[in-house]
Amino acid sequence: MNERVTTVADLRKDGITARFSAWLSQERIFRWIPFVMVEGMIICVLIIPFILTIYISFLRWRANRPFEQAYLDGFRNYEAVLSDPGFWLSLGRTFYFAGSAVILELIIGFILAMLVHRIVAGRRIYITIFLIPMMVVPVVAGYNFSMIYLDSGPLNELLWPLTSLLGINPRIRWLSNPLAAQWAIILADIWQWTSLTFLIFLSGFSALPPQLINAARIMGASRAQVFLWVELPLLKPAIVIAIVIRSMEALKMFDPIILLTYGGPGTSTQTIAYYLWEQVWQFNKFAYGAAASILVLILFSVLIFVGIYLLGRQSEAVERGEV
């Protein structure tokens, strides 16, 4: 009642604002306020820049000249990008890094989650410790590994018995050999992101219905059979989610590369993100970089579409209770 009185008083005192707020709180208006706010933000900060980039990608423009002197030049930038072997090689490398890292992360994360799920004592401590790498800032993780991979760093010290046995110089240069540098980066990624796959699988394991597994055990199924025919199918959504999320993240890989190798030795650790960064920020090829980023965006939108579709299908299946 009190509330009513104040609103009426407000209405008399300040007609326009009160009427405006009454208009705003109508359901057909009110429901769109946050939507318009967020969409406006996304349009201003992301969509307009993308349209600008499409325009710039058709320009002939060097960074040392002012923007006003640039002129339209057709698809020349796109041709240049597509005929650059560096672009294709870094794209291939990105998939190679992401593929190797994600497969190993899935396997290790799955095994760890299974082991932690089966034990009782000390479970919480293990979970807490295993989740720490995920929280370490990627740049700090890159820095940590750059210390560990030093010529006179702890890794070479740990390998010293082995290297002295084989008669190799114990001060192995991990980041100077192309293959070693590639795997150094993959290992750093595994160190950091296995905790995420572990987390996803652990929540998958803890959602398994125990009655079903007990029933299967009682009916005489062996441990391996239960795992293969009961647990694994039930874990399918978790596996799909882990694959989609980790692949999307791994394909963006940039931070460890800039911290560990700067794309080197040569170009052997350049991923697509590093390649684009180098073209624009080191070589100042803005129009070229714009064209390349549009191409990468097109490629990624296909992958994103597949990823979203898979995620959506899994969560729908869970909601329907099919799995």
For residues 146 and 260, the answer to whether their CB atoms sit within 8 Å is yes
Q: Minimal CA–CA distance to 257: which of 272, 236, 241?
A: 272
CB of 295 to other proteins, least distance (A): 10
Min separation Cβ 75 and other proteins, Å:
18
Which is closer to other proteins, CB of 180 or CB of 311?
Answer: 311
In the complex with other proteins, the residue whose CB is nearer, 100 or 235, is: 235
Smallest distance from the beta carbon of 181 to other proteins, in angstroms? 15
Residue whose CB is less far from other proteins, 135 or 224 = 135
Peptide bond into 154 cis (omega under 30): no
- Cβ 60 to other proteins, closest distance in Å? 15
- Nearest distance in Å: CB 32, other proteins: 7
DSSP code string of 260-303: HTTT-STTTT--HHHHHHIIIIIS--HHHHHHHHHHHHHHHHHH
Q: Between residues 7 and 17, which has the closer beta carbon with respect to other proteins?
A: 7
35 or 71: CB nearest other proteins: 35
- Cβ proximity to other proteins: between 196 and 226 the closer is 196
CB of 229 to other proteins, least distance (A): 19
CB of 193 to other proteins, least distance (A): 12
Cα–Cα separations (whole angstroms), residue 29 to 25, 33, 45, 179, 267 = 7, 7, 24, 59, 55
Nearer residue to other proteins within complex by CB, 100 or 285: 285
Q: Please check whether residue 140 is in contact with residue 127, taking contact to mean a CB–CB distance below 8 angstroms.
A: no
Strands (E), the chain: 59-60, 71-72
With vertex at residue 20, the alpha carbon angle to CA 15 and CA 22, rounded to the nearest 5 degrees, is 95
Neighbours of 288 (CB within 10 A): 24
Beta strands in 71-149 (DSSP E): 71-72
Cα torsion 75, 80, 86, 88 to 10°: value is: 40
